[in-house]
A and B are shown apart, each in its own frame.
Chain A
Amino acid sequence: MSRLWLTGARLVDPEGGEHEGSLAIEEGRIVELRREARPDPALLRSSPVLDLEGAYLLPGLVDPHVHLRDFEEAGKETVASGTRAAAHGGYTTVCAMANSRPPLDGVEALAAFQAKVAESAVVRVHPLAAVTRGREGRELTEMGRLREAGAVAFSDDGSPVADAAVLRRALLYAAQLGAVIVAHEEEPALSAGEPLAAGETAFAMGFLGQPASAETAMVARDLALLAETGGRLHLAHLSTAGAVAAVRAAKAAGLAVTAEVTPHHLLLTEAACAGFRSEAKVNPPLRGQADLEALWAGLVDGTLDAIATDHAPHTAAEKARGFAHAPFGIAGLEAAFPLLYTYGVLAGRIDLATLVERMSAGPARLFGLEPPALRPGAPADLFVYDPRPELPVDPEAWLSRGRNTPFAGWRVRGEVLLTLVEGQVAYAAPRLALPELLRTGEAPVR
């Protein structure tokens, strides 16, 4: 019997709110939880104790939208590096998009990906599979077989399903299987490959920019299709006030729609691209201040169910190809929680419990995953966050191979000290003195 006590922390649990507490872990599960920082010493006598004085103990974060690359793009990221990055960010579960090279559009490709996960992942990884073969937007994948093989949802993300008839069929078919379609909301004829949003910054840099309708028109189309077909639709990385309003109305009308937002769309406007800063080049593009405010409002009131990093690692060489030719994307896993804690919670935009809900239980529910919880009986998927140090965001210290971020140098409060997945150490800060029981090294997660 090896029971480990984590004591002295502030616990934020989705059901009980925020309080002083301590908990015991055994065999990968939480076995006891106390609403007191220092339980009776008699209780701790024969157990190793990790005292977390002054830190938060939080349920593990869940990212519904990451790009783990690997295979032909191992130079950008691998399952090994991406999941270590996730653990470093406080994540215990990530959902991997199907737009790898080759794409996850068949059971063989899915199995190859799952083999990578089994051999090298340190957090839980749930793959999505493509909606269409080759993500070409024409023929549906074998969704039934893919779902049985472990795909948690279906998405051609990276690109939209441009043909409305194809998405309509996908929704009908997925509805029958009880599967979720995840939509990348972009009307390509309107976005037209433009590298940033239309507006002042685009004008200054000599681009036409993507109009907001590139997103809102597609959202309107897809909600109309959903109303007709039934099933479940999840809208990825929304960026416009118009899309938030459309989702709010659709939910009020009873449609089974959910939506997510990224940290960068919550914290940056198109102005971050000024001066041809390709680190801020992302799709959908960063928008204006009114959009940013609408996203926060939608996040707080629950119109937006989840925060997703849309972690999109790229090499420095690719991002240096000039703004017009650099790939879209921001590597987000390792800065997301510190940024949102600092510029969300401490800035008074959202309370900590709501932020944690939108980054943990909220995203888990999208695809029917078990929400991480600080509750006896639940798997010990949790992380420890010390809110005291003030640090710059430092991509050089990241575990991801992608260091492409517009947040480098931003001051954040706090750092992830420890991430446990099923009671095993997925990440531990070097300064943390771990008890013997936890010093088992990294263990792959099944």
Chain B
Amino acid sequence: MATWVETRSGVGRHFLGVRGLEREALAAVLGRAAQLKRAWLEGEPLPQALAGRTVATLFFEPSTRTRNSFLQAAQLLGGLTLTVEAESSSVRKGETLEDTVRTLEAVGVEVMVLRHPESGAALRAAAAASRLAVLNAGDGMHEHPSQALLDVMTLAEHFGGARRSGELDLDVLRGLRLLILGDIAHSRVARSDIWALTTLGARLWVSGPATLLGWLPEEVRRVERPEEVLGQVDAVMALRLQRERMADGLVPSEREFRQRWGMTADRVRLLPAHAVVLHPAPVNRNVELDDSVMDSDRSLVFQQARNGVAVRMALLERAVEGEDAR
């Protein structure tokens, strides 16, 4: 009888989510990501952990950015890559996700990077796999765990860099004040960020249209207007506003959203001098972030993208070397 048991998702070879992961597990991946990043940027040889191994990306939702980040990471570690087009493949002809996993396994794929519109799809894929490792690149509104890791890495680097060089210091996140802005309810990035950051001791506020907030965990405090806390936060995470939300009647317009919840130049002026702005990208310019904010030195958007490759190298490496803890 099929039972979808919640796995300790980050501990084994699969990486399905950050919820329930302990600080040590996060620190292990992020520490390795920081080492790999240093080697990469300094032109040192990277460990060829994926030499002769095949990584398949299977994306049921378009996301060139995340896919390319994983492909880049796989190739830097010497891996072979296979891009499965969900649009054109047998997947469209009624093949189940489970069948696809078994097929990829049969042709020798060892790691599958999955993006899927269904919450829980990554867990389904992992349950169907016998040897292949599943890396969740976003499943429905559930989790986008590699995004959360790269966000954590970016914040830890930024706030820890001045104090200590080299190793990533996650202690700087303890007590860090962060405002998450925009569509929380539909956002897997928000969920994964909330779990990772609260585990590491950050203090979180959220703000956005009530239609985009929904149920929120106790650790997260809701403010009706960003102005209520902008003067006291260390960082703002602006989330992408999907255009469908307008069509669904959840937000009256992008213009109104920007006026009340966008990181406009005026709002940025309310931030403390040291505060930074993040965004999972791609950014709707002049909606979530004004041009001037996006291009200012407060914006960490491009550091996030670079850290994405580092985090994904660490995840791919552990996918082929990690123990199966399930």
Question: Chain A interface (Cβ within 8 Å of chain B)?
Answer: 198-200, 202-209, 274-279, 316, 319-325, 395, 403, 408
Contact = CB atoms under 8 A, between A and B. Distances in A.
Interface stretch (B120-128, B198-206, B274-282, B315-323): B120-128
Interface centre among B4, B124, B143, B185 (most CB of A within 10 A): B4
A209 B119 CA distance: 12
The bracket for how many chain B residues form the interface is: 20 to 34
A208 B214 contact: yes
A274 B6 contact: yes
9 contacts: A202-B215, A203-B216, A206-B119, A206-B120, A207-B141, A321-B96, A323-B120, A395-B1, A408-B1
Contacts of A278: 2, 4
A276 B118 contact: no
B191 interface: yes
Contacts of A325: 118
Given A199-B215, A203-B217, A206-B119, A323 B191 contact: no
Given A200-B217, A203-B217, A324 B3 contact: no
Nearest to A317: B2
A150 B248 CA distance: 45
Contacts of A205: 119-120, 142
Interface string B169-212: 00000000000000001101001000000000000000000000
A322 B19 contact: no
Interface string B1-27: 111111000000000000100000000
A275 B4 contact: yes
A279 B121 CA distance: 17
Contacts of A203: 191, 214-217
Contact of B140 (A206, A316, A408): A206
A395 to B, nearest CB: 7
B325 to A, nearest CB: 16
5 cross-chain pairs, A with B, having the tightest CB-CB distances, nearest first: A206-B142, A275-B6, A206-B119, A320-B2, A276-B4
A435 B215 CA distance: 60
A408 B2 CA distance: 12
B248 to A, nearest CB: 10
B139 A206 contact: yes
B84 interface: no
A200 B191 CA distance: 12
Contacts of A322: 4, 97, 118, 120-121, 124
A207 B3 CA distance: 19
Nearest to B124: A322
Nearest to A403: B1
A202 B191 CA distance: 11
Contacts of A208: 141, 185-186, 214
B125 to A, nearest CB: 10
Contacts of A320: 2
A240 to B, nearest CB: 16
A277 B5 CA distance: 7
B193 to A, nearest CB: 13
Contact of A198 (B19, B124, B215, B217): B215
A274 B17 CA distance: 14
B209 to A, nearest CB: 14
Nearest to B144: A206
Between A199, A207, A279, the greatest number of chain B beta carbons within 10 A of the residue's beta carbon is seen for A207
B119 A323 contact: yes
B2 A276 contact: no
A275 B5 contact: yes
A208 B5 CA distance: 21
B191 A206 contact: yes
A324 B119 contact: yes
